Amino acid sequence: MLACQFAFAAGEITQDRAHQLAATYFARYFSEGCGGVDVPILRGATWEAPIRLGVAGTLSGYIHIDRRTGTVSYGSYPTASAQSLGAWSTALRNRAHNP
């Protein structure tokens, strides 16, 4: 069955979650004026989210998201856990709603 080829074990990071983690990581660690992340592609045990920078959206590498743990990394930038990115995002939202 084709559906079985795309099944994930319970608790593994889905493509949607990987995209959310990559976008949060980008917002946290990149100070670019323009840019963002594309939809991640699964390669083995890692989701790879293409980074697009500048007005032209130039491909500038891939944010890596571990499919099992949600750990996020990119080159020489800090490695971040899914939990730490979630905490950062929550704190940022709370500051915006409670000046």
pLDDT tens, residue by residue, 19-46: 999 999 999 998 767 899 999 999 999 9
Q: How do strand 41-43 and strand 35-37 relate by DSSP bridges?
A: unpaired
**pLDDT value at position 7?**
47
Q: Do residues 23 and 39 lie in contact, with contact meaning Cβ atoms separated by under 8 Å?
A: no
Q: Do residues 85 and 74 lie in contact, with contact meaning Cβ atoms separated by under 8 Å?
A: no
And the tokens for 72? Answer: 């996020």
Q: Is the pLDDT of residue 88 over 90?
A: yes
